[in-house]
Amino acid sequence: MEIPAAGLSFVTILLGMFYGLCMGSYAVVSGRAGTYLQMLACMGKVPALFFLTLLVTFPSLYVFNALVGSRLSFTSMLRLLVAAMAVMLALLASFGTIVAFFSFTTDSYSFMVLLNVIVYAVAGFMGLGFLLQTLNRLTIALEERERAAEIASQPPPPPPVVGSEGEFPTLAQLRPGALDRLHPPADKAKAIFRIWIIVFGLVGAQMSWVLRPFIGAGREFALFRPRGGNFFEAVWRHLHQLLGGW
């Protein structure tokens, strides 16, 4: 059954907007600059974060997919990625009420930033794990279907020849390499896609820095901030502040 990419994308956007509502509620509760404008901006930025990251990293995934000998087409790969995005945003939305709870019960900006970083990391890696498992299964299924069609088009094999000791040869003896062909290089595929998952995570982290602010830090409302620094420096700074200058 084909994945309805358009409908699933719409649901994914709604899930992202819900998490953005919960994430941006901190600006409203704490009375920071922008308040509701900051929350509305966050509702639009959360789904944009995921789709822009996908746009940047999709070519590399498609090339990696071709390198491992997968038979998935461009359209099939895109549908699979949309499904993975839906899993990520569903997981993210499930954490939304928790984020909203801490927004109402704490005034620590650094804590809220680090909490959202952890939530994004958990949702992202679980969603990409779903992508890796599903992609491996689809690749194996397509390859086995092609081999079955190829075998069906060939004339039936001759009857097995009894060995000198009255034993029938095994399938591997009759068709050298047949068993190996039934199993694609799964280890190689997993290694390549793990590399892509790291690339997706790095691009997504920096994309969140480009689209900031999400929560709002008490300054005047701005849809975007000037470029400078990077995501990892900011996370380290907030961790340092949260631990009291440790």
Nearest partner of 146 among 190, 173, 185, 182, judged by Cα: 182
pLDDT at 90: 95
Is the pLDDT assigned to residue 192 strictly greater than 60? yes
Among 23-32, 135-144, 201-210, 225-234, the range of highest mean pLDDT: 201-210
- At residue 32, the pLDDT reads 64
How far apart (Å, rounded) are the C-alpha atoms in residues 33 and 5?
Answer: 38
Q: How confident is the model at residue 219 (pLDDT cuts 50, 70, 90)?
A: low
Question: For 112-165, what is each residue's pLDDT tens digit?
Answer: 999 999 999 999 888 888 877 877 776 677 667 767 777 777 766 666 555 445
The per-residue DSSP string of 15-29 comes to HHHHHHHHHHHHHHH
**Burial class, 157, CB count within 10 angstroms (exposed 0-12 / middle 13-18 / buried 19+):** exposed
Helix 109-153 × helix 231-242 angle, to 10° = 140
- From CA 160, how far away is CA 144, in angstroms rounded? 24
Q: Can you state the angle between helices 96-105 and 74-94, rounded to 10 degrees? A: 40
Query: In angstroms, how far apart are the furthest CA atoms of the chain?
Result: 89
Q: How far is CA 119 from CA 113, 171, 202, in A?
A: 10, 50, 15
Asked if the model's pLDDT at residue 1 lies above 50, the reply is no
User: Which tens digit of pLDDT belongs to each residue from 7-57?
Assistant: 888 999 999 999 999 998 888 887 765 678 888 999 999 999 999 999 999
Strands (E), the chain: none
Q: Is a pLDDT exceeding 90 seen at residue 80?
A: no
Q: Where are the domains of the chain?
A: 5-151+178-242
| Phi (first) and psi of residue 130, to 5 degrees | -60, -40
- The whole-number pLDDT of residue 123 equals 92
> Mean pLDDT across the chain, nearest whole number?
79
* Among 43, 75, 44, CA closest to 58: 75
Which pLDDT does position 19 carry in this prediction? 96
